[in-house]
Structure 1
Amino acid sequence: MEGTSGEGGAPASVPLAKWKNDFSRKFQYYLDRSTPHPVERWLGSLAVAAVYVLRVYLVQGFYIVSYGLGIYVLNLLIGFLSPMVDPELETLDGASLPTRGSDEFKPFIRRLPEFKFWYSITKAFCVAFLMTFFSIFDVPVFWPILLFYWIVLFALTMKRQILHMIKYKYIPFDFGKKKYGGKKPSAGSRRD
């Protein structure tokens, strides 16, 4: 028979599929549990990035992989700093971000949420780390030129993003913003 192992006619891929399903469930469980702990998640990602940087430093190669990783992280950063609905395109529809106190308040919603941003960066560093074990990805290149080009690209891209933020008056971060709380119980209305 095709696709069967000799035991009871069960397909040979069933144990592999079961293992993959079990692994996927456990991975998703731990991923879900990490959601309310952003500081710990980012510290773990920083550790993964440090291991990658140490690997590239010790091997003295894989600069093309690092450059590609840098471009990908820059792309993720732009998505993280951008609003879900671009105000330039929204003005064509007649709706825009509030510019006066009487305008309707619209909260800042990111195009790329923080959790997906973290997960994508961590995955990217893990993939880049794995790529450093295959010599096919170690293309000889003069790395200072790549580094200079990436810095110029970063500066120009961030300048454009910051000008966009200033033009449409939005801040993609929570610090420095007013925090509004619910009604606090007064001392006279307390029950014993």
Structure 2
Amino acid sequence: MSPSPPLRHEYVGQITGADTLQLGPEGKALEVITDLRRRAEDLREQALDEISRGWAEMYLGLIADNLFAERDAAPDHYRPALRAGEAGDDLLAREALRHLGDHDHDHGDHERARERWERATALGARAGAVPGTLSQQLLLAVLARGTGDEAGAAALAQEIVRWAAALGAVHLEAQATAFLAGADPTEPPESHS
């Protein structure tokens, strides 16, 4: 089971800008994101089982990565989340693999990123997470393009566009369409300062 909905909701609100508490440097109130981290730590300490502890670790990694820009610290949370997911939660394992693969990709280890992202894709599919599986495939398309397989990247992205359109997953459809036009969904958004 994943962390309590309020923590998840507030984390997503900070990432998407939907949370009205966003203030301060880089659009995040330090006290708000510090409180999210403290609550995730509390969830980890109070977890009654390995999978719940794994989800808390996953969110600690996400908070470190995406709210505090502590890229080097995040994998230390994703690895225990992966171990917990491998003990019986495909979606947790998928999330951990997805983010560990992102770090591999950023460090230029494309083979390790591919292994992790392919495994994450299979786990997402097995769990029935169709939009998540498609978003994972988009990362595989990024790797294909990055290793010179533009035809393979385009073919995969075209299928993602087709499936996303059929599902009504407009954000994912737009991402894949932008990818076909040359955008890289793994690049951070441009700041408009």
Please give the range of the TM-score, normalised by the shorter of the 2 chains: under 0.3
Q: TM-score, normalised by structure 1?
A: 0.25
Q: TM-score, normalised by structure 2?
A: 0.25
Which of structures 1 and 2 has the bigger CA Rg? 1
